[in-house]
C-alpha cells in the first residue's frame, strides 16, 4: 500500500473500547500505518514522529459508521408515503419505483444521487440492496467502487408477489440471473463485494430460497434479507411456509441463515421472540436494527437490549427509504428514543440503551460484519470521520464525550470535513 495511507491525525478523538465504554482524547493523536489503525495516544509515540501529521484542531475524529441495511434504489423516494404500513408501502411506492431500474439510463442517474449522498454522510461501510436487474446492479457496483467506500451489494432475488413489473420468471431464471451477475463481476472490484439478496420470504419461492442457500454454501457467499418486521408480514410467512416453527426457522429450513464464518444479515427483527433470538445467535447472524424505519412504517420497536444481552451480533441500518435518511447520527438518535419507549411502554425489565451502547452499535457493532472495523484499537482498519461541530455554540467547556452525544442529537449541525476508509482519504471539503 502506498505511503499516503500512513499518517497521524490530531483532534478530539472518540471510539468504543467496549460496548459500555467510549474512550476519548482531547487533542489526541490517531495513528494509521498502511491503512491500519495503530491506536490513539495522548502523546505521540517516538516511532511515529516521522509520519505526516494532519492537525484538525478542535474538530472531532470518530470511527466511520457502518450502515448494515440500505436500499439504494429507494433513495429517490425517501420521506414520502410515510403514513403507510409495510405491505401497502411496498406495493404503492417501492415496487413501482424499483421496476424503473430496468432502464439503465434511469438507474445510472438515480444511483448517482444515492452514491453522491452516501459519500457525504457518516458511513464508511454499507450493506446495500439493489434491485433484481442485472445492468442496474452492475452500474450501482461501479459507482460504489468509485466512491472508495467499502460495501456489499446485492442483486435482489424475487420470483413471486412483486407484481407484473418487478418479478423474475421463476426460481430457475432468478438463480441463473444471479450466477450470471456473479460471473460478470468476478475480479472486477476491490471494495464492492456481492451478497446474495432474497428480498424476503414473501418474494421468494421455496425453490428459489433453497437454490440461494445452496449457492451461498458452494461459493462461500453471504446472504442478506428481512426478518419479522411487520405483524402482517410475519403472519403471511407463517402461511407461506407452514412447516416453519417461526419466521427465522423458515430461513433455516432453506439453509439461508448462514454461519458464524459466513454470517447472514437479517434486517429488523422487531417481532422476534426468544426462539428467533436463539436461531440468530446459533448461526452467528447479524441483526440490522432499523429503528427509524420501524417507527415510520408503524412496525414496532425491536428489543435490542435483550439481543445485546443474549450476545447476538447487532449493527444499525438506516433502511432507506422506509428510513428516510442515510444520516447515521439521526439513526442513532431514533435508536435511543425507540429503546426508551420500549422500556417505558412495553417492558420495564428491558433497560433503555445507553448512548455508549448506541455509539458502539453504529460503529463497532456494524463494523464487525466487515472484520476488524469500527473502532480505533490497534489492528483495526482505519475508517474515520472528521467532524466540525462548531456551529453548535456552547457556553461550557464540553468534554469530547458530551460533544459526540450532542452531535448525535443535532445531526443537522455536525459538518463532515474529511472521511477516511481503510486509511484512504476520500476527498477534502466534502461539504456540498
Name the site residues for its own copies (rule: CB under 8 A): 76-83, 100, 106, 109-110, 113, 116-117, 292, 295-296, 298-301, 324-325, 327, 330, 333-334, 336-338, 340-346, 352, 354-355, 391-396, 398, 402, 405-412, 432
Residue 97 or 252: the one with the smaller Cβ distance to its own copies is 97
Residue 123 or 327: the one with the smaller Cβ distance to its own copies is 327
The CB-of-79 to its own copies minimum distance in angstroms stands at 3
* Backbone dihedral angles phi then psi of residue 67, each to the nearest 5 degrees: -95, 105
- What is the residue whose three cell numbers read 464540553? 398
Cβ partners under 8 Å of residue 124, min gap 6: 64, 65, 66, 149, 150, 383, 384, 385, 419, 420, 421
**Distance, CA of 108 to CA of 111 (rounded, Å):** 5
* Count of positions (residues) in the chain: 432
Residue 175 or 336: the one with the smaller Cβ distance to its own copies is 336
**Distance, CA of 178 to CA of 154 (rounded, Å):** 9
Residue 42 or 232: the one with the smaller Cβ distance to its own copies is 232
Cis upstream peptide for 203 (omega within 30°)? no
Three-state DSSP state, 263: strand
Q: Give the pairing type, strands 265-268 and 286-289.
A: parallel
**Distance, CA of 284 to CA of 291 (rounded, Å):** 21
The CB-of-405 to its own copies minimum distance in angstroms stands at 5
The CB-of-403 to its own copies minimum distance in angstroms stands at 8
3-state secondary structure 215-260: HHHHHCCCEEEEECCCHHHHHHHHHHCCCCCCHHHHHHHCCCCEEC
The CB-of-227 to its own copies minimum distance in angstroms stands at 18
The CB-of-47 to its own copies minimum distance in angstroms stands at 37
Residue 223 or 297: the one with the smaller Cβ distance to its own copies is 297
Is 242 buried (19+), middle (13-18) or exposed (0-12) by CB count in 10 A? exposed
Cβ partners under 8 Å of residue 18, min gap 6: 360
The CB-of-429 to its own copies minimum distance in angstroms stands at 16
The CB-of-169 to its own copies minimum distance in angstroms stands at 27
- Residue 416, all three cell numbers: 463532515
Residue 245 or 410: the one with the smaller Cβ distance to its own copies is 410
Alpha carbon separation from 99 to 73, 106, 206 (Å, rounded): 10, 11, 23
Residue 190 or 345: the one with the smaller Cβ distance to its own copies is 345
Neighbours of 106 (CB within 10 A): 14
The CB-of-327 to its own copies minimum distance in angstroms stands at 7
**Distance, CA of 177 to CA of 104 (rounded, Å):** 16
The CB-of-347 to its own copies minimum distance in angstroms stands at 10
**Distance, CA of 257 to CA of 279 (rounded, Å):** 8
Residue 4 or 394: the one with the smaller Cβ distance to its own copies is 394
Residue 34 or 83: the one with the smaller Cβ distance to its own copies is 83
DSSP letter at 331?
A: H
- What is the residue whose three cell numbers read 436487474? 133
Residue 213 or 323: the one with the smaller Cβ distance to its own copies is 323
The CB-of-74 to its own copies minimum distance in angstroms stands at 11
Amino acid at each position: 500500500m502506498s505511503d499516503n495511507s500512513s499518517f497521524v491525525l490530531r483532534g478530539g478523538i472518540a471510539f468504543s473500547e467496549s460496548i459500555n465504554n467510549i474512550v476519548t482524547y482531547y487533542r489526541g493523536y490517531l495513528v494509521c500505518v498502511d491503512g491500519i489503525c495503530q491506536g490513539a495516544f495522548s502523546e505521540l509515540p517516538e516511532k511515529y514522529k516521522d509520519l505526516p501529521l494532519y492537525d484538525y484542531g478542535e474538530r472531532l475524529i470518530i470511527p466511520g459508521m457502518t450502515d448494515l441495511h440500505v436500499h439504494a434504489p429507494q433513495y429517490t423516494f425517501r420521506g414520502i408515503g410515510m403514513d403507510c404500513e409495510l405491505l401497502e408501502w411496498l406495493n404503492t411506492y417501492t415496487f413501482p419505483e424499483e421496476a424503473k431500474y430496468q432502464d439503465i439510463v434511469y438507474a445510472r442517474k438515480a444511483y448517482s444521487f444515492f452514491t453522491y449522498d452516501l459519500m457525504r454522510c457518516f458511513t464508511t461501510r454499507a450493506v446495500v440492496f439493489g434491485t433484481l436487474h442485472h445492468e442496474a446492479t452492475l452500474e450501482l457496483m461501479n459507482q460504489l467502487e468509485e466512491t472508495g467506500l467499502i460495501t456489499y451489494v446485492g442483486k435482489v432475488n424475487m420470483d413471486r408477489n412483486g407484481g407484473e413489473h418487478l418479478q423474475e420468471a421463476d426460481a430457475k431464471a432468478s438463480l441463473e440471473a444471479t450466477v450470471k451477475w456473479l460471473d460478470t463481476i468476478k475480479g472486477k472490484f476491490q471494495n464492492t463485494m456481492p451478497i446474495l439478496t432474497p428480498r424476503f420470504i414473501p418474494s421468494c419461492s421455496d425453490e428459489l430460497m433453497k437454490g440461494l442457500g445452496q449457492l451461498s454454501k458452494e461459493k462461500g457467499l453471504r446472504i442478506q434479507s428481512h426478518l419479522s418486521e411487520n405483524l402482517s408480514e410475519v403472519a403471511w410467512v407463517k402461511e407461506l411456509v407452514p412447516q416453519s416453527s417461526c419466521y427465522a426457522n423458515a430461513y433455516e429450513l432453506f439453509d439461508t441463515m448462514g454461519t458464524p464464518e459466513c454470517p447472514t444479515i437479517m434486517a429488523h427483527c422487531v417481532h422476534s421472540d426468544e426462539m428467533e433470538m436463539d436461531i440468530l445467535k446459533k448461526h452467528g447472524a447479524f441483526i440490522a436494527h432499523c429503528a427509524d424505519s420501524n417507527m415510520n412504517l408503524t412496525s414496532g420497536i425491536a428489543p435490542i437490549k435483550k439481543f445485546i444481552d443474549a450476545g447476538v451480533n447487532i449493527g444499525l441500518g438506516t433502511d432507506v427509504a422506509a428510513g428516510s435518511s442515510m444520516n447515521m447520527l439521526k439513526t442513532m438518535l431514533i435508536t435511543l428514543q425507540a429503546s426508551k419507549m420500549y422500556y417505558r411502554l412495553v417492558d420495564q425489565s428491558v433497560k433503555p440503551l445507553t448512548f455508549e451502547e448506541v455509539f458502539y452499535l453504529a460503529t463497532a457493532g456494524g463494523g464487525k460484519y466487515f472484520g476488524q472495523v469500527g473502532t480505533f484499537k490497534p489492528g483495526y482498519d482505519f475508517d474515520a470521520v472528521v467532524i466540525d461541530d462548531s456551529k453548535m455554540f456552547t457556553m461550557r467547556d464540553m468534554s469530547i464525550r458530551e460533544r459526540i452525544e450532542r452531535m448525535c442529537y443535532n445531526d443537522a449541525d455536525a459538518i463532515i470535513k474529511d472521511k477516511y476508509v481503510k486509511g484512504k482519504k476520500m476527498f477534502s471539503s466534502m461539504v456540498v
